[in-house]
Structure 1
Amino acid sequence: MGWLSDVLKRNSELEWMLDLDLTYETSQRAYLKKMALETCINFIGRTISQSDFRIVKNSKRQLDDWHYLLNVRPNTDQSAADFWQKFIYELIHENEVLVILTDNNDLLIADSFTRIEYAVYPDVFKDITVKDYTFQRSFKMDEVIYLKYNNEKLTKFMDGMFDDFANLFSRMIEVSLRKNQIRGLVGLDSNQQLTEENRNKLQKFIDKLFSSFRNNSIALVPKVKGIEYDEVASGDSKNSGQSVDELTKLKKSLIDDVANILGIPNALIHGELSDYETSIKAYLKFCINPLNKKIADELNAKLIEKEDYLKGEKIQIRGIAELNPLEVADAVDKLRASGVYNGNEIREKLGDERVDNPALDEYVITKNYQSAKSVEGGESE
C-alpha cells in the first residue's frame, strides 16, 4: 500500500475513492450439503415408510395393539408413514435413533438424549427430549427401540468434502456472474470540488445506477454534468451458458457421492429410466434390505420374548421389495408345477399371507419330473 498512498497523496481528489463500496462477500453454500443429504435420505425414508410390519404367530398374522402402532398410528401426532420416514431420517442423519413407549402406549422418536453405557449391564438412556418435553425418568436398553446406522455420523464424515464442494461451487458462481456482468466506467470532472457531500452524492448515484441496470430490463439514467458513464463489453458471450451447465453437473456429482455412500444407484436417484430394473434390484438388495433387516432384528429382540421367537413368532417387514406376481407368473408356475414349493409358500415369497386352503398346502407335480432310473425303455438282457 506504500506506493498507492504516495500516488493518492499527489492527487487528494482520488484518495476518497478507496471508501466506495465496490465489493461484496461470498455467501455460504450450506444449502448444498442440505440438498444432497435431504435428497438421498428422504428417498430412503419414503421407501421404508411404505413397509408393512407383520406380527406372525403360527404362520398367521396377528392383529393386535402392536400391529396398530407399527402400521397405522404410532402416536397421537403422527401417521405410520410420517413416523417411519422421520425414523429413517434420524437414523441416517444422526447415525442413531431412539424410540420410547410412553405410559399412554405412544411410540415417540427422541429428539435428543444421553446414553450411559455399561459393560455387563444394559445401557441407560436419560434426559430424553421429545419436542419441548424432557422425560424425568430413565429408560433401560431393553425398554426402548434403539438403532445405530454406522460407525460414524454421516454429516460429520462428509463435512470436509462439503466444504471443498462449497468453495468450488462459490468460485464457479463467481465466474458465471463475471461472464454475464454489466460493466461500466464512471468518469469525473477533475475540476469539480470534491467535498464530503459530493462524495456521498456520487456513491448514491453509482448505487442507483447499478440497481437500475440490474433490476430492470429497460433502464433510463439521467446524464449528470461532470459525471459520465460508459458501458463496456461483459466477457465472452459464446461460453455464457457453459458455467451454468458446470454448476448443474457439480450439484449432481455431490448428490452422487452421498448416494454411493448410502447404497442408492445414481441412475435411480436422478430418475433415469435407462437401467431402471437393474437399479431397483441393486437399491433393494444393498440399501433397503439391510435396513429392513436391522429394524426387524431390533423389533424382534424388544417386542417378542425369546421363548416365543424360538417357537416361530416373529415380526416381518414387507413392502416395496416384494415381487410383482404378474411379472413372475411363469416362474411361479414352474415352482409350483415342479413340487419345489406349495401354494402358501409361494404366497409368502410374493409378500402375501397364507390362506386356509388345504389345496395350497399340498405339494403337486404337474410336469413329467421323474428320476432317470424310472424311465422305461431299451432292451433287457
Structure 2
Amino acid sequence: MTILVAGGGIGGLAAALALANKGFAVTVLEQASSLGEIGAGIQIGPNAFHALDHLGVGPAARAKAVYVDGLVLMDAVSDERVCTIPLDEPFRERYRNPYAVIHRADLHGVLLEGCRAHERVVLRTACRVVDYENTGSGVVALTQGGERLEARALIGADGLRSAVRARLVGDGEPVVSGHTTYRSVIPTEQMPEELRWNAATLWAGPKCHIVHYPLQGWKVFNLVATVHTDAREAVAGEPVPTELVRQSFAHVAARPQRIIHAAESWKRWVLCDREPQETWIDGRVALLGDAAHPMLQYMAQGACMAMEDAVCLGRALEQAGNDLSTGLEAYRQERLPRTTRLQLASRAMGEYVYHPDAARRLARNAWLGAKTPVDFYNSLDWLYGFGAA
C-alpha cells in the first residue's frame, strides 16, 4: 500500500518527494482541480536550500531564484537605515548555501516537476480528504467524494484549515492576528528607481510595515504591506481598493509611501496562526507544514519549515522500516521544538521588530543598529545552519 499525502502545496509535494526518494510509494491528494500555487514572493534561507538539496531539486530551485545582497531594515517614520545583514560570500561560506527570494509558483513548480518525474509518486486532483480511520495496520482516508482509500500512513499537509488536523487536534478556527497584509506585484520599471534595491527590504513603522524585493529575474518587484486593522475574520486573496491601502500608510515617510503608490492593484489577507500543539500524531496519521505549525510571516520561514519537515519525515520513516508509527513519532519529536520556536519567534518579531512605535521603536533602532554582521550571524546560526550536514 501507498502513503497518502493530503494537500498538493509546497509542503505536500516536498513530503511526497522526500518519501519517494526513500523508497516509499506516495499518492498526493489535492482538493483543487489543478495543481498550482497562488501568492507571490517568498524568502528562502540557507536552511531551506539545504532541504531542497536533500530533496534533489536544489539546482532547479536555484535557477529560478533571485539572490539578494542583504536583508535591510529601514525606519518607515524617519526614512533612516537601521541595519543591514549582508548575504555575501562570508554568509554563504558560514551557512553553506545562499539566501534568495523566489516566486511561490516557481518554487511549487520545481517540486511539482520533481514529483511528476518520480516513478513512485502519483498525483490526484479534485480529491479532498475530509476524515480518516486508523485500522491498526494502516489508515483509511475518507474523501469528500465518498472514496475510502487504504494506505500505510496518511500525512496531513492540507494547510491552515486542515481537515486532518480538525480530526486529529480539534482546535477549531485559526487564531486571527488582527494584522491585514496587502500584496501586489509590479513591473520593475514601475518601482521608484531609487528604491530598486537588490535586497529584501523591510520598512518598519508604527503598527505597520512594507517589504519589497525583486523577483523572476528582476522582471517584477514583490510588495507586501501589512497594517494592524484589528480584523476579526480571516480573509484570503480578496481584492481591495487602491485608495484603502494608500490611506493605511499615510502616516509613514514619503519614500515608503511612494512604494505604496507605485502599485495599482492589491489583494488582502488577514494573517492567522495557531497555538503550538504537542499532538501531531494519531496512529498512522501525522501533520506537516501549516497543518502542524502555522506561523505568522515575520520570520519568513513558513514554507521553509514545511520543506524541513518533509526531509525529516522521509529520513524518520526510512529508519523505522516497517514500524511506521515509531517513525512518525520520531519525526514529531525532532520537529516539534524547532517549529514551536519559530511560531513564537514569528509573533515576537512582529511585535518588537516590525511594528513597534514611540520609545519601543527607538530602542529597536539602537539595539539592532549597534550589531555587526558577525553579531547577526551568531544570533542566526540556530536557524540558517540547520540541515547543512
TM-score interval (norm. to shorter): under 0.3
TM-score with structure 2 setting the length: 0.27
Please state which structure has a larger fraction of its residues in strand: 2
Please state which structure has a larger fraction of its residues in helix: 1
Whose Rg is larger? 1
